[in-house]
């Protein structure tokens, strides 16, 4: 049965640089710990992996922010590390530390033996969550699916956790780049299959999160981060279950130096962090590509007046040109005041060029 198209399709139209009557807004990590209802659901789930891997709970959490705020898109509640977990790596989420792999990938044999998981078998819980969320949304707003970029996934898999200097993966990059590329090739195939399965399950747009691409040199970014993402984008099924085009969003945190190269990836939308001026990015890239962003999440801790001022400055910097999706420059943080999120959404929706 085909899921209904979205009654509010401003987000999808903006992704394709089509005119909209109101700037659409959604927020990275919009389902998260700043919401009291999320904390209650998380407590019921006992642990984060259970929350991610139980479709009914993932659906509940996905819907919480769009029930509270008039956001223009929902994003699947999951984690970028579901893929390496499905590959057989032992993943834990430790309080105060975040994700940790107990046995990081440091061995050539282990890297070459990594399987590509079947998204409808090992990752079926994600697809079931997508199907359930689309059903519950009932066509009100679109649903975004997502995955981590191969480079970002490889960073976690080789380092074993988040890192400041990326010592182990960068050592591999410089000492055995062919081995690193073999791992990235496996991840390209896994991510492409994963996103295509999300699209078939009902995702109406998909996003590649490249959290750590900004840690690379310019040449290394193109080879080890952007090239794998470009291969994924070229492998995606671009028509959704409702017959509409599925836009692709590419976001590299710290990627402002490479916007023109990113624009050649095949993505429809480039996500910007707060280090990039929105108007300058529009001038550099021209009118054919949509831009997403890019308020500093810390601005939500300022006064109401400052938040409105910072938000309007970004909107005015972009100007009336079609193709702007308002978002944060990275994920919302756990202590963010809920009333400030409501104020942000209202400010964006009330803005007129």
Q: How far is CA 189 from the centre of its chain?
A: 18
Residues 6+ away with beta carbon under 8 Å from 193:
116, 118, 119
Q: Which of 8, 6, 67 is nearest to 36 (CA)?
A: 67
Residues paired with 290 in a beta bridge = 269
Task: Classify domain 10-350 at the CATH topology level.
Answer: TIM Barrel (3.20.20)
∠ Cα 23 29 30 (to 5°): 55
Res. 197: pLDDT tops 90: yes
DSSP assigned state of 225 = I
For residues 165-184, one letter each, b for 16 or more C-beta atoms within 10 angstroms of the residue's C-beta and e for the rest, the string is ebebbbebbeeeeeebbebb
Tokens at residue 217, please?
């040199």
Residue 189 in marked binding region: no
In this predicted model, which residue has the larger pLDDT, 161 or 159? 159
Long-range contacts of 5-9 (CB under 8 A, 24+ apart): 5/139, 5/242, 5/244, 6/137, 6/139, 6/140, 6/141, 6/142, 6/204, 7/139, 7/140, 7/141, 8/72, 8/140, 8/141, 8/142, 9/142
Mean pLDDT of the chain: 95
10 annotated ligand-binding residue: no
pLDDT higher than 50, residue 1: no
Interstrand relation of 269-271 and 290-292 (parallel, antiparallel or unpaired): parallel
pTM above 0.75, yes or no: yes
pLDDT tens for 90-122 read: 998 877 778 999 999 988 999 999 999 999 999
Say whether pLDDT at 5 is over 80: no
Cis peptide before 294 (omega within 30 of 0): yes
CA 28 and chain centroid, separation = 7
Mind telling me the catalytic residues?
29, 33, 42, 79, 156
Q: Is 204 known as a binding-site position? A: no
Q: Is 330 annotated to bind ligand?
A: yes
Is 301 annotated to bind ligand?
no
Can you give the pLDDT at residue 81?
A: 96
CA dihedral over 140, 30, 295, 250, signed as positive or negative: negative
- H or E element in which residue 158 lies: helix 150-159
138 is in an annotated binding site: no
Element (H, E) at 65: helix 55-68
Q: What is the arithmetic mean of pLDDT over 261-268? A: 98
Please choose, from the candidates 208, 198, 74, the residue with its C-alpha nearest in 3D space to the C-alpha of residue 143: 74
Is 200 flagged in the annotation as binding? no
Residue 4: the pLDDT is 56
Task: List, for residues 29-38, the tens digit of each pLDDT value.
Answer: 999 999 999 9
- Beta strands (DSSP E) in the chain are 74-75, 91-94, 98-101, 143-148, 205-210, 248-252, 269-271, 290-292, 324-325
d(CA 7, CA 326): 19
pLDDT-based confidence at 349, cuts 50/70/90?
A: very high
SS3 282: helix
pLDDT digits (tens, 9 = 90+) for 275-303: 999 999 999 999 999 999 999 999 999 99
State yes or no: pLDDT of 3 exceeds 60.
no
């Amino acid at each position: 049965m085909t899921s209904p198209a979205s009654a509010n399709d401003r987000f999808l139209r903006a992704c394709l640089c089509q005119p909209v009557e109101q700037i659409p807004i959604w927020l990275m990590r919009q389902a998260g710990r700043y919401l009291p209802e999320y904390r209650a659901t998380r407590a019921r789930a006992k642990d984060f992996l259970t929350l991610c891997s139980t479709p009914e709970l993932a659906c509940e959490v996905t819907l919480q922010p769009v029930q509270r705020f008039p956001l223009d898109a929902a994003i699947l509640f999951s984690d970028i590390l579901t893929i390496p977990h499905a590959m057989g790596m032992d993943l834990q989420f430790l309080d105060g530390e975040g994700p940790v792999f107990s046995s990081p990938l440091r061995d050539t044999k282990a890297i070459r033996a990594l399987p590509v998981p079947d998204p409808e078998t090992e990752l079926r819980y994600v697809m079931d969550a997508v199907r359930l969320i689309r059903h519950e949304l009932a066509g009100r707003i679109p649903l975004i699916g997502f995955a981590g970029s191969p480079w970002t996934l490889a960073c976690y898999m080789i380092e074993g956790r988040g890192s400041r200097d990326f010592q182990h993966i960068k050592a591999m990059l410089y000492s055995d780049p062919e081995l690193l590329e073999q791992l990235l090739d496996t991840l390209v195939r896994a991510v492409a299959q994963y996103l295509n399965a999300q699209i078939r399950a009902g995702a109406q747009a998909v996003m590649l999160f490249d959290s750590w691409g900004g840690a690379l040199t310019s040449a290394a970014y193109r080879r080890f981060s952007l090239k794998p993402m470009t291969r994924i984008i070229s492998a995606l099924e671009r028509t959704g279950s409702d017959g509409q085009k599925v836009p692709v969003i590419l976001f590299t945190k710290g990627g402002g130096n490479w916007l023109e190269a990113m624009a050649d990836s095949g993505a429809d939308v480039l996500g910007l962090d707060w280090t990039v001026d929105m108007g300058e990015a529009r001038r550099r890239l021209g009118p054919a590509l949509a831009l997403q962003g890019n308020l500093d999440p810390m601005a939500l801790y300022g006064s109401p007046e400052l938040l409105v001022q910072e938000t309007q400055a970004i909107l005015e910097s972009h100007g009336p040109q079609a193709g702007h999706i308002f978002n944060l420059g990275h994920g919302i943080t756990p202590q963010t005041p809920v009333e400030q999120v409501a104020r942000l959404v209202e400010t964006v929706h009330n803005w007129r060029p």
